[in-house]
Structure 1
Amino acid sequence: MSAYANQVKAYVERYQAEHGSDGLIDPHAVAKWAYDNGLHKPTLRTVIDAIAADISQVFREEYRTDRKGQRYRAKHAVREKRGEKTMSLWADIDDVSAPRSHFVRSFAQRRQQIVGDCFQLKTDVDVYNDKSPNEQPIQLILDFTYDVEELQLPFQGRKAA
């Protein structure tokens, strides 16, 4: 864990000690408290990173509808390393100047994120089940074939207008 992550963990623990804990943590409340108490002073880089994160979030949330009525994500990111810096580069799916290779990489990276999420979810369910031997085990199905097919049903047989 990085020094920064350790610093954040320390002030989260201090916040919980001062405010009590019901097991739920509101990151915004902790952030305001940390800022108000001088525990977290944003640098110009922190501010720029926050603005860039907001821009990326806006990109992530931009959807459009195609002629068949399918809602699709407009902008897609590729994470890549340039020198010592890892960055996200975004492209619009409707921008004819955006290279196909960008979307191939983006879709592959998103698929890997989904696989990683499924792996972590499976691990978390297994750990929960192991820690709860007197409970009915939570079942987890990771085959999404039928789920995706069901979501596509409304668009089957539609012709582009």
Structure 2
Amino acid sequence: MSAYANQVKAYLERYQLEVGGDGLLNPHLVAEWAYRNGLHKPSVRTIVDAIAADIAQVFREEYRTDESGQRYRAKHAVRSKQGGKSMSLWADMDDERAPREHFVRSFSQRRQQIVGDCFQLKTDADVYNARDPLKTPIQVPLDFTYDVEELQLPFRMPKAA
């Protein structure tokens, strides 16, 4: 774990001791508390990173609707490393200048994220279920084929006249 992560964990423990609460943690409230108590002083780099994260969030949230009524995400990212630093480059699906390879990589990376999320969800459920083997295990089906087909139905069915 990085020194920064250790610093955050340390002031998180202090936050929990001083503020108490119900066991639920809101990162924004923790950050506000840490800043107010002088435990976290953002650098210019941190501020630029925060603004970049806001911009990426705007990109992530931009949706459009095609002529058949399907809502699609307009901008897509590809993560890569340059000089040992991770970065994301974004492209707009409607920008003819954006190379097809960008979207091939983006869709592949997003699929890998979903696989990783499913793996972690299954692991978390298994660990939770193992804590009390007398209770009915929480089942987490990971085959989304029918879920996706059901969501696509309105776009595959001919519209009634």
What's the TM-score, normalizing by structure 1? Answer: 0.96
Q: Deviations over 1:104-158 (max 9, x none)?
A: 0000000000000000000000000001222110011100000000000000045
AA of the residue aligned to 2:2: S
Alignment map for 1:8-27 (pairs within 5 Å): 8-27=8-27
**1:39 aligned onto 2:39:** yes
Query: Which residue in the other structure is 1:126 paired with?
Result: 126
Cα root mean square deviation, aligned: 1.1
Task: Determine if the alignment matches structure 1 residue 114 to structure 2 residue 114.
Answer: yes
Residues 23-62 of structure 1: CA distance to partner in whole angstroms, max 9, x if unpaired?
Answer: 1111111111100110000000000000000000000000
- Structure 1 residue ranges, 4+ long, deviating more than 4 angstroms after superposition: none
The amino acid across from 1:104 in the alignment is V
The verdict on how the C-alpha distance between 1:20 and 1:77 changes in structure 2, with shifts beyond 3 A counting, is same
Contact 1:68 1:158 in 2 (8 A): no
Contact 1:63 1:71 in 2 (8 A): yes
**How many Å separate the matches in 2 of 1:135 and 1:158?**
46
What is the one-letter code of the residue matched to 2:70? Answer: Q
Pairs aligned (count): 159
| Higher RCO (CA < 8 A, seq sep 6+) | 1
Corresponding residue number in structure 2 for 1:48:
48
Please tell me whether residue 101 in structure 1 is matched to residue 101 in structure 2: yes
Q: Provide the residue aligned with 1:78 in structure 2.
A: 78
CA distance in 2, matches of 1:123, 1:62: 32
Aligned positions of 1:61-72 closer than 5 A: 61-72=61-72
3-state SS, counterpart of residue 64 of structure 1: strand
In structure 1, the gaps of 5 or more residues are none
> What residue in structure 1 maps to residue 150 of structure 2?
150
Judge which range, 132-141 or 52-61, deviates more.
132-141
What 5-or-longer segments of structure 2 have no aligned partner?
none
Q: TM-score, normalised by structure 2?
A: 0.96
> Which secondary structure state, in structure 2, belongs to the residue aligned with residue 147 of structure 1?
helix
AA of the residue aligned to 2:72: Y
- Pair 148,26 (structure 1): closer, same or farther in 2 beyond 3 Å: same
